[in-house]
Amino acid sequence: MRIMKQGVRTIVYPVKDVAKAKAQFRKLLGVEPYLDSTYYVGFKIGDYEIGLDPNGHKAGMTVYYSVDNIKQTLESLLNAGAQIQQDIKDVGAGGKIAIVRDADGNLIGLISGPQT
Protein backbone atom coordinates (compact mmCIF):
# COMPACT_ATOMS: atom_id res chain seq x y z
CA MET A 1 0.00 0.00 0.00
CA ARG A 2 1.42 3.36 -1.03
CA ILE A 3 0.19 6.12 1.25
CA MET A 4 2.36 9.07 0.32
CA LYS A 5 1.93 11.20 -2.78
CA GLN A 6 5.07 13.31 -2.70
CA GLY A 7 6.66 12.92 0.70
CA VAL A 8 7.17 15.93 2.94
CA ARG A 9 4.97 18.83 1.86
CA THR A 10 4.73 21.27 4.77
CA ILE A 11 6.85 22.22 7.78
CA VAL A 12 5.20 24.35 10.47
CA TYR A 13 7.32 26.22 13.02
CA PRO A 14 5.81 27.50 16.27
CA VAL A 15 6.76 31.17 16.77
CA LYS A 16 6.32 33.59 19.66
CA ASP A 17 6.87 36.81 17.73
CA VAL A 18 5.22 36.34 14.34
CA ALA A 19 6.43 39.71 12.99
CA LYS A 20 10.08 38.90 13.77
CA ALA A 21 9.77 35.34 12.47
CA LYS A 22 8.08 36.57 9.29
CA ALA A 23 10.91 39.04 8.67
CA GLN A 24 13.53 36.35 9.24
CA PHE A 25 11.83 33.82 6.95
CA ARG A 26 11.36 36.47 4.24
CA LYS A 27 15.14 36.93 4.26
CA LEU A 28 15.89 33.22 4.51
CA LEU A 29 13.48 32.12 1.77
CA GLY A 30 13.66 35.21 -0.44
CA VAL A 31 9.88 35.35 -0.96
CA GLU A 32 6.86 37.08 0.52
CA PRO A 33 4.25 34.99 2.35
CA TYR A 34 1.31 33.85 0.21
CA LEU A 35 -0.85 33.78 3.36
CA ASP A 36 -0.36 36.33 6.12
CA SER A 37 -2.91 36.18 8.93
CA THR A 38 -2.93 36.42 12.70
CA TYR A 39 -3.22 32.63 13.05
CA TYR A 40 -0.82 31.44 10.31
CA VAL A 41 1.81 32.76 7.91
CA GLY A 42 2.61 30.56 4.93
CA PHE A 43 5.49 30.73 2.44
CA LYS A 44 5.54 28.69 -0.79
CA ILE A 45 8.85 27.40 -2.12
CA GLY A 46 8.12 25.32 -5.21
CA ASP A 47 5.90 22.45 -4.08
CA TYR A 48 6.75 22.99 -0.41
CA GLU A 49 5.24 25.16 2.27
CA ILE A 50 6.95 26.68 5.29
CA GLY A 51 4.44 27.82 7.91
CA LEU A 52 4.68 29.98 11.00
CA ASP A 53 2.16 29.25 13.76
CA PRO A 54 1.93 31.78 16.62
CA ASN A 55 -0.26 29.31 18.55
CA GLY A 56 1.81 26.20 17.87
CA HIS A 57 3.99 25.91 20.96
CA LYS A 58 1.82 23.22 22.53
CA ALA A 59 2.45 20.98 19.52
CA GLY A 60 5.99 22.03 18.59
CA MET A 61 7.39 21.89 15.07
CA THR A 62 5.35 19.64 12.80
CA VAL A 63 6.35 18.08 9.49
CA TYR A 64 3.37 17.18 7.30
CA TYR A 65 3.52 14.26 4.88
CA SER A 66 1.33 14.41 1.79
CA VAL A 67 -0.94 11.35 1.63
CA ASP A 68 -3.52 10.10 -0.85
CA ASN A 69 -6.09 8.94 1.72
CA ILE A 70 -5.78 10.66 5.10
CA LYS A 71 -8.35 8.45 6.84
CA GLN A 72 -6.69 5.22 5.71
CA THR A 73 -3.21 6.50 6.55
CA LEU A 74 -4.33 7.68 10.00
CA GLU A 75 -5.90 4.28 10.72
CA SER A 76 -2.71 2.52 9.61
CA LEU A 77 -0.56 4.62 11.90
CA LEU A 78 -2.91 4.13 14.85
CA ASN A 79 -2.90 0.36 14.23
CA ALA A 80 0.91 0.51 14.30
CA GLY A 81 0.87 2.10 17.76
CA ALA A 82 0.76 5.85 17.09
CA GLN A 83 -1.54 7.99 19.23
CA ILE A 84 -3.87 10.74 18.02
CA GLN A 85 -2.65 14.25 18.72
CA GLN A 86 -5.21 15.94 16.43
CA ASP A 87 -7.93 14.06 14.58
CA ILE A 88 -8.70 14.79 10.94
CA LYS A 89 -9.53 18.48 10.55
CA ASP A 90 -10.77 20.39 7.50
CA VAL A 91 -8.46 23.31 6.79
CA GLY A 92 -10.41 24.74 3.87
CA ALA A 93 -10.18 24.53 0.07
CA GLY A 94 -10.56 20.74 0.25
CA GLY A 95 -7.50 20.22 2.46
CA LYS A 96 -7.42 18.06 5.56
CA ILE A 97 -4.77 17.56 8.24
CA ALA A 98 -4.22 15.19 11.16
CA ILE A 99 -1.37 14.73 13.64
CA VAL A 100 -0.21 11.65 15.54
CA ARG A 101 2.55 10.98 18.05
CA ASP A 102 4.83 8.06 17.30
CA ALA A 103 6.12 5.63 19.95
CA ASP A 104 8.86 8.12 20.90
CA GLY A 105 6.49 11.07 21.20
CA ASN A 106 7.51 12.67 17.89
CA LEU A 107 4.81 14.40 15.87
CA ILE A 108 3.86 13.12 12.42
CA GLY A 109 1.57 15.39 10.44
CA LEU A 110 -0.60 14.15 7.59
CA ILE A 111 -2.02 16.40 4.88
CA SER A 112 -4.29 15.60 1.96
CA GLY A 113 -6.16 17.57 -0.62
CA PRO A 114 -5.23 20.25 -3.08
CA GLN A 115 -2.02 22.19 -2.75
CA THR A 116 -2.52 25.94 -2.69
Q: What's the 3-state SS for 87-102?
A: EEEEEECCEEEEEEEC
For strands 107-112 and 62-67, give the pairing.
parallel
Domain residue limits at 82 = 4-112
**pTM for this one?**
0.75
Q: What is the pLDDT of residue 3?
A: 54
Domain count, the chain: 1
CA distances to 54, 73, 109 from 96, rounded to whole Å, are 20, 12, 11
Q: What is the pLDDT of residue 116?
A: 47
CATH number reported for the structural domain that contains residue 57 in this entry? 3.10.180.10
Per-residue pLDDT tens digits for 46-83:
888 999 999 887 777 888 998 989 999 999 999 999 99
**Whole-angstrom Cα distance, residue 82 to residue 54?**
26
Instruction: Check residues 93 and 90 and name the one with the higher pLDDT.
Output: 90
